[in-house]
Structure 1
Amino acid sequence: MAADLPRVDPDVAIAAIRDARPPVTDRFTYLTIIEANLSREVLPALNEILQDAELTQEIGWDLVFNLANLPDSEACLETIARLGNPREVILKVLEALELLDADVAQSEDEDAPATVLPQVVPKDKKFIALLGMLSILHHRIKTKYPSRFLAQTLRTVFHTYAPTQEATAAVVNLIHNLSGRRRPALPSRKSSINVANPDQDGDALKNAPDPEAEGKDGTDPSEVAMQHKLLLSFALCILETYTSSNDMAWAARMYEFYNSEKLVPGRRTLMAAFREEQSLLERDGIVGRLVALIKDLGLDSYSQKFFADITGNAIVKDPLSTTDDAAGPDDVALPTGGCISLIAYWVFSAAIFDADQPTPEINVLPGHFALLEKILEDDPQGQIQQFSGTCEALVAIGLWLHANGRTSATPYEPETNSTASEDEPTSEFMQYLHLLTLVALYHPRLQVRNAATVLAGQIFHADPSEEDKLRILYDLIENCTFASLKACAITWLREEIIDASKTPPSSGTAMDTTNRSGVFAGPQAFDTLQYVIFPDLNHLSEFGVDEFFEFFGPNVAFLLQAINFAVFLWSSAKWRNVIPANAEATVQERWFRPLWLAVDKVKMAIKHGADVEGEGMEYLLGEMDVLWERIMRLGKTEEFKAAGEIDRA
């Protein structure tokens, strides 16, 4: 308690609450006496007094809030849950849950009145104690429709849930206790989390009967099904919230698993971190326990109906808020994000842990595309930021689908027209890549952005139509406003050219690349894309230092990848067959020369004292030096230098 508040002698306080018990005083007077003398030291005596079931039914519900705010009060709260009027106590417990955030805000308010008691019990600890009470209380209520009480409880718990390890473990206990105990309690593998679970660990024989019990006890099959559906929806809501708030690294770990040859030797991987760090082990363990409970509640296999419900209906964000009007289990919706997170865990644990899990019978196209489209159909940037865990789950699912050869459900039929055209209808591959690259741009976690970028490249290369690939590259480089994605497109182009050189020739046995056919084996790809990769930059001659960096900053990633592509093409005779005749001279005139001169002009200005201070300028100057070095590597700068000397004069 606050240091400036008078403390009551514990012996005096204990005597007061013992001597004032009804009928010596009325109920309201006795509650006032208890509140005035309440402290940690009197709790054992108070718990003895509360063993009087008749008294606790009268006053127990009114003690919940004060006891929840007092350390070491768990025994008293458990007694109230076992002996108090369960309907009244549940209402007080839910009210105390709703006030948790208000308690935290009050305790952090420096201007709060001096008479306000400090909140010495952490929010998580209160939450755990109150959930322990709810487990006991729901078992005590005997009514024809217990789902009505359950719906309100689950809604309140979800809305006050903070996705910490301990709070989530308490929620797991609650689901396990209320689901009918269909399996033994599931300890988290290698977990140190151990939260109180009085319903499981206590003595249920001490429970008082429900004083308002009805003739039936809710064992009707339809009522049982309703309760299980409510718990299933609740568990999926918790799964979605927990995986969105705690970085599970599903996508990043899937990438490491499938691309181990690309990992940097000696650098600890995320796979290793999640094996070795206790807090990360606990994350996996908590999710595993949630998924096991979801399985017990009936969602233990993938079905076409399950997938159709996810993709065919509107996005369900908070199904528990609409359960009051539910007439039966079919009226209780499942959260869209929670279902997607469940699928992601299935494929993740099947791949990483070799677990026996259901796997989705879908392909990237059209199944995974439908999931992406559903989540990102309105305000993609806002959706990605708000539902980051769901979007990471989608990337993890996509990586698994690609790794298992599930790209498209539609057999490829070659186009009769082999010429790429802007009038061609947008392919599913192009639409899919558009959505996936939005995740690569806007996701708040770098590792997810990187995994989404890798997946986008994999799906691009899996497109069986070379003409479609060319259309995708042209559209991305021409119309995308983000330099990083345009740079990715150039990387994909280079990889296609390399792959085309490895592909056996279409006829004969000669291995000379000049004999190969296909869009990327010859000059067609470069001819189509050269003006969007290497556009006319002669306007740079009019730029001063500030204007140059205004242009260079947003485009640096694309410019560097373009110059890398140029070095790749022109530094080896191997790729001469993919460059159209006279392309080198025209690209040199419209792109290399004006870019080199612009950089040379800026370097000279800086040498003579031009001000280039500002946020991010150190990085841009470094990237400009890299660009300069790459142009010089081409060995085509003698005329650039001559032109530069003229400009300087």
Structure 2
Amino acid sequence: MSQCQSENPLIKALPPETDYLSYLTIVEYNINEAQLPTLHRILQDTTLTTNIGWDLVHLLLPLLPHSKLCLQDVARLGNPREVVLKVTELLEKLGSRDEEDEDLCSDDSEDVEDTEEAKSIDGGAQNGTTRIKTPSREVQFCALLDMLQTLLPRIKTKFPSRFLSTSLQALLPAYAKIAAEEQATEAVIVFIKALAGTSRPKLPPRASSTSMPIRKDEIPQSAPDPEGNDGSVGLEEETLQKRLLQAFLTFVFEAYMTALPLVEDVPGMAWCSRIQEYRQPDSIIPGRRTFTELFDSGQGYLHNRDAIVGQFTALSRDLSFTPPALLTTLITPPSPPSTPTDLPSTASEVPLSLPGALYLLTASGVASILFDAPCNLPSIRLFPHYAFIVAQLVGISSPASAGTEPLALIDAILALHSCLNISKEDPKSDSENSFKETLQRLSLLSANTPNASLRYRAHLVTKSILYSHPSENVRMAYIKDTLQNCPYENLKASAVAWLKDEIIAAGRTETGKGVFATPATLTTLAPYLFPNPHSLTTSNNDFTPFLAHQSFFLAVLNLVYLILSSQTLNVSSWDLIRCTETWTGQLKDVANGIREVIKVGREEGEDAIEGLEMDLTLLEGNIDIVEEALKEIPVADNEQEGPSG
């Protein structure tokens, strides 16, 4: 040993020169980046590392990424039970701190950057410790996760699920903080693969300024568990461990999908839009870049999303979490909470993430459609199964909150409707409430969701489910309820569109009979189709409420013009004509009042006048078109006979 090495305090004080506790103190005051190679060589002593390894983790974490080899030494050769507890503790701290809070290792860094007086103990000052820059949360998380991957298989006990459960519970909050970081997600996927015993190709390589890959053939074998037994476990324990990994996968996937940022106005994975583009290419607007093109560009963040989601779904299959099993999870009512225990003792006590299960099921279905991936998609009834899934995930706090869920979750729910083989059996009598509630939740998605593409997809799914009901009376009742009670004008406009489609469909039937084929339908709905617009204005000439109803007004004008100008629809009546004449006159009165406001505003140079005038011009143009159609209606001698179309 050279003179320089013999004077190194980390070597000079090695036990039995000092006891283990004293040696830890010396390491604490002398550790720095320059000492890491020496410490790495020292830690190859299994006896030493077994005794002090657990207390080195918090000292080495601030020195990442340079201390990665030493941390692996501790994971391989330290007492696995003690080190796992330490790693779990540090993960819990990592998951409990907000970004603006003090970083995980700041306290430890202060210990390392102590005063010159403290560093002089056992010659530590000669190393010239410099101030340490705390590594990022992502770097710390990946290093601790890498240690767990080595540590957990080392523990040989009859109940390894106890260590696994504790570790996974600490991992989830820590990962949720950085789920948007691809490197963290890739590390979690590798971790699950290792514990599940699967071997799959790694994700495409990506540049990283923090990772320091270590070749497996460069890492010596791990030491045996000094407190372990033969490592044999029972079938129930194996089942529990598998269930823990399944549950962990669902919660991790939920965190990943929830954290997906809005890139180029793409909600989550844009599954429902990509399916429609695939199945209905004629619906694509020429010249507009499609969602499919954005994901298929072969580069960039969106392309990586498909690769990562593919890894998650592959892990689901490896863990025997097949689509039928996922569907069973989603449509099974939750069990009543059992007596709280520290750790689950059976697989049935391990909860799963319902959003995570939904994402996995939908991802499998989407892959079978877009990428021809093999997938055993189960059949499902629209009611009560799909309806139950919607009720469990949409508008949880209250039905009115529908649309405030993460965009990725809304996208997955809508895409699931397109993926599954949904049976359109006649709803039973006890399903009528479920039918109405499901339509309410989905239609609220079409009204409240901030993303335009998801609003449109929600509208299509709602319409599909509404039209699937075999009873015209039930469909009519829902349309009437929406027009009468819904507080959202854009949703009321959708109800008018549903009504128009129903009337057109009824007019195409050979019998010409049915609820939507007679004038009585419009007579019944007239109070809700033609509300007095004067009630939407205020005494101080605030026309904001009136203009908020513009989409509804335009929808009604479109419906009325269709009926008045059609030669085949026999649903018009003199009552409808009178209501329309009165209503369009009221609309014009309010419009004239708005014109006066515009005139004053233009004189005062208000910026919002241009947009207000464009909206008003559009409304007035549609009113004029309807009034021209009214003039073409012949006046009958006996008005009771009514117009014939």
Query: How does the TM-score come out when normalised to structure 2?
Result: 0.82
Aligned position for 2:532:
536
Aligned position for 1:91:
85
Aligned position for 2:476:
470
Letter in 1 for 2:419: W
Q: Please list the CA deviations of residues 561-605 of structure 1 after superposition, one character each: whole Å capped at 9, or x if unmatched.
A: 2233334334x343663321342233211x111111111122123
Aligned position for 1:332:
350
Q: Please list the CA deviations of residues 62-96 of structure 1 after superposition, one character each: whole Å capped at 9, or x if unmatched.
A: 11112122132111111110011111111111122
Aligned position for 1:211:
226
Kindly indicate whether residue 271 of structure 2 is the aligned counterpart of residue 254 of structure 1.
no
Tell me: CA distance 1:144–1:631, structure 2 relative to 1, closer, same or farther (3 Å). same
Kindly indicate whether residue 364 of structure 2 is the aligned counterpart of residue 364 of structure 1.
no
Kindly indicate whether residue 415 of structure 2 is the aligned counterpart of residue 396 of structure 1.
yes
Letter in 1 for 2:584: F
Aligned-partner SS, 2:184: helix
Aligned position for 1:593:
585
Tell me: CA distance 1:499–1:614, structure 2 relative to 1, closer, same or farther (3 Å). farther
Tell me: CA distance 1:60–1:546, structure 2 relative to 1, closer, same or farther (3 Å). farther
How far apart are 1:61 and its partner, in Å? Answer: 1.3
CA distance in 2, matches of 1:118, 1:251: 48
Structure 2 residue corresponding to 1:49, chosen from 10, 22, 42: 42
Letter in 2 for 1:340: L
CA distance in 2, matches of 1:299, 1:425: 30
Aligned pairs for 1:68-147 within 5 A: 68-71=61-64, 72-101=66-95, 102=97, 104-107=99-102, 119-147=133-161
The worse-fitting range, judged by mean Cα deviation, of 217-226 and 349-358 is: 217-226
Kindly indicate whether residue 179 of structure 2 is the aligned counterpart of residue 159 of structure 1.
no
Letter in 1 for 2:292: M
Structure 1 residue corresponding to 2:391, chosen from 373, 378, 386: 373
Tell me: CA distance 1:152–1:218, structure 2 relative to 1, closer, same or farther (3 Å). farther
Letter in 1 for 2:94: L
Structure 2 residue corresponding to 1:284, chosen from 291, 302, 306: 306
Q: Please list the CA deviations of residues 220-272 of structure 1 after superposition, one character each: whole Å capped at 9, or x if unmatched.
A: 22221211111111111111221222222223323333333222112111111
Aligned pairs for 1:212-611 within 5 A: 212-214=227-229, 216-246=230-260, 247-276=268-297, 277-302=299-324, 307=327, 309-314=329-334, 324-375=342-393, 376=395, 378-382=397-401, 385=404, 389-401=408-420, 406-410=422-426, 426=432, 428-501=434-507, 503-506=508-511, 516-539=512-535, 543-544=538-539, 546-549=541-544, 551-570=545-564, 572-574=565-567, 577-589=570-582, 591-609=583-601
Aligned-partner SS, 2:224: coil
How far apart are 1:129 and its partner, in Å? Answer: 1.1
CA distance in 1, matches of 2:623, 2:617: 10
CA distance in 2, matches of 1:219, 1:425: 47
How far apart are 1:636 and its partner, in Å? Answer: 4.5
Letter in 2 for 1:343: L
Gaps of 5+ in 2: 114-130, 261-267, 632-645
Aligned-partner SS, 1:520: helix
Letter in 2 for 1:260: P
Letter in 2 for 1:439: L
Tell me: CA distance 1:605–1:280, structure 2 relative to 1, closer, same or farther (3 Å). closer
Query: How does the TM-score come out when normalised to structure 1?
Result: 0.82
How far apart are 1:411 and its partner, in Å? Answer: 7.5
How far apart are 1:165 and its partner, in Å? Answer: 1.8
Tell me: CA distance 1:302–1:308, structure 2 relative to 1, closer, same or farther (3 Å). closer
CA RMSD of aligned residues (A): 3.6
Tell me: CA distance 1:63–1:595, structure 2 relative to 1, closer, same or farther (3 Å). same
Aligned-partner SS, 2:287: coil
How far apart are 1:38 and its partner, in Å? Answer: 2.5
Aligned-partner SS, 1:362: strand
Tell me: CA distance 1:495–1:67, structure 2 relative to 1, closer, same or farther (3 Å). same
How far apart are 1:206 and its partner, in Å? Answer: 1.9
Letter in 1 for 2:33: R
Aligned position for 2:121:
none
CA distance in 2, matches of 1:585, 1:466: 27
How far apart are 1:365 and its partner, in Å? Answer: 2.2
